[in-house]
Amino acid sequence: MSGTRKRSRTADVLLRALPSLAIFALCLVAWELWVNIRDVPAYLYPSPTEIGKELRDEGVSLAADDLRWTMIEAVLGFLLGSAVALFTAIVFVHAKFLERVFFPWAIVLQTVPIVAVAPLLTIWFGFTLTPKVLIAAMICFFPVLVNATKGLRSISSQAVELMSILSASKWSLFWRVRVPSSLPYIFAGLKVASTLSVIGAIVAEFTGADRGIGFVIIQASYRLDTRLMFAGIALSSAAGVVFFNVIDALERLALRWPDARLDR
């Protein structure tokens, strides 16, 4: 029975992914035909076939070295930014005065251009891991903060009254009511942050790095090697999709009760 259920779940996943894969394939075919019909030079706008050849030749080394380093930066930034955001959301929920004081500063932090902050952090911390992690954390912080704050406040008044009747402590109210009810919102923010963390790490690498996908893209742009640029973009996009699906899988494990997920 378990084997049959696993096969049915796999079939369901494939069926859900089929429309997206079909559209993706159609876009690649249209791209290939357009480049060949218009006879566009490969150095100007490479075809999917040319990009595929570049991935075949350089993909293993890019994934093993540069992509691995970029994902280390992205994951560390994701964990740091999400942890700080969750802690801040808990503080905001229990101290509205602090929320009124500091939430506008969180908005200011979100509106600061990352491309302007990244060079400063590189100057302050050098060509190390630190500025990349900090940029990824900054870009992850706001979506997790907003969703976590809303989620922690999403409990019903009836649940609060029930816990009050049971003489439950604030700690019990937090862990038994607020946290479970907030998980769908928190995971929604985490899924957004997972893709943004990859972008943040790559943008930070643009301003100063000696490895990583951002470094590869910048070096390729200097040489006008558009095939390598597209190969780097393809790898980073694939990594972002994988990271998103990892968080989505964790959400499915954490929220097993019916109708718990926001997208159901």
As a whole number of angstroms, the distance between CA 77 and CA 212 comes to 15
Q: CB–CB of 154/182 below 8 Å?
A: yes
Which one-letter amino acid corresponds to residue 227? Answer: R
- pLDDT of the residue at 112: 86
Across the chain, what does the average pLDDT equal? Answer: 84
159: pLDDT strictly greater than 80 = no
Q: What is the pLDDT of residues 49-99, one digit of tens each?
A: 888 888 887 777 777 788 999 999 999 999 999 999 999 999 998 888 988
Amino acid 58: pLDDT:
76
Confidence of residue 264 (pLDDT cuts 50, 70, 90): very low
Residues whose CB falls within 8 Å of the CB of residue 38, separated by 6 or more in sequence, listed in order: none
* 188/238 Cα distance (integer angstroms): 20
Place of tokens 């559209």: 23
Decide if 112 contacts 170 (C-beta within 8 A).
Answer: no
pTM over 0.75: yes
- φ, ψ at 168 (rounded to 5°): -75, 145
Amino acid at 27: C
Q: What confidence tier does 258 reach under pLDDT thresholds 50, 70, 90?
A: very low
